[in-house]
A and B are shown apart, each in its own frame.
Chain A
Amino acid sequence: NAGVTQTPKFQVLKTGQSMTLQCAQDMNHNSMYWYRQDPGMGLRLIYYSASEGTTDKGEVPNGYNVSRLNKREFSLRLESAAPSQTSVYFCASSRPVNEKLFFGSGTQLSVL
């Protein structure tokens, strides 16, 4: 049982390049989330998906798009990467209401 799997683990981009961060969970969870972790700022929610077919903006959605491809997968896309998007990205999933979040191992992204 892998839990939440994120790929890639590391990525270096040049300013203006695009890429997609992949996330998949095998726990049959309805809800999925993308957070970014920055020093001194904690984790901030980028986007979340309460259920398959729905997505909503979080605290810091600018510069990102998401796709809830199916119940298992929730991808995060950077269309034109900027240095301000250098961060560690975490995907998470949960069952509905009052359930704990299960996190992936993170993607360390550097934008030069």
Chain B
Amino acid sequence: AQRVTQPEKLLSVFKGAPVELKCNYSYSGSPELFWYVQYSRQRLQLLLRHISRESIKGFTADLNKGETSFHLKKPFAQEEDSAMYYCALKEGGATNKLIFGTGTLLAVQP
């Protein structure tokens, strides 16, 4: 069954500390994975996707097929990174249906 697991409900770090938000997936095939972010009082929005191999706002995520993981990382957290982060897996087929994880709330302390 297709599934996305985010084991941490809350991750609290201090400003300037490294951040790693964990995401593991279950998918038989070649996965397409995304990170979405929801800042306070803002809409849910795409942060990055693995096929782009991009860095957005200092965040990166590498797909590790051996460990079935797509962890989100940032070397130095900023207070403005505080938000809810969702890992998402695209279902197979021609639509953009996404399976979301349960989300991790990142709190960056000053």
Contacts and interface: CB of A to CB of B under 8 A. Distances in A.
B45 A103 contact: yes
Contacts of A41: 102
B97 A45 contact: yes
B57 interface: no
B11 interface: no
The size bracket of the interface on A is: 20 to 34
Contacts of A98: 32, 51, 90, 96
Given A100-B46, A101-B46, A104-B43, A42 B86 contact: yes
A33 B97 contact: yes
Given A43-B86, A90-B44, A101 B98 contact: yes
Contacts of B103: 42
A97 B96 contact: yes
A58 B43 contact: no
A96 B100 CA distance: 19
B57 to A, nearest CB: 15
B102 A40 contact: yes
B30 interface: no
B49 A100 contact: yes
A42 B89 CA distance: 13
Nearest to B42: A105
A48 B97 contact: yes
Contact of A40 (B9, B94, B96, B99): B9
A99 B90 CA distance: 10
A99 B94 CA distance: 11
B34 A100 contact: yes
A98 B95 CA distance: 8
The 4 A-B residue pairs with the shortest CB-CB distance, nearest first, are: A100-B46, A42-B102, A43-B100, A103-B44
26 contacts: A31-B95, A35-B100, A40-B9, A41-B102, A42-B4, A42-B6, A42-B100, A42-B103, A43-B44, A43-B86, A43-B98, A45-B97, A45-B99, A96-B94, A96-B95, A97-B94, A98-B32, A98-B90, A100-B34, A100-B96, A101-B46, A101-B98, A102-B45, A103-B43, A103-B44, A105-B43
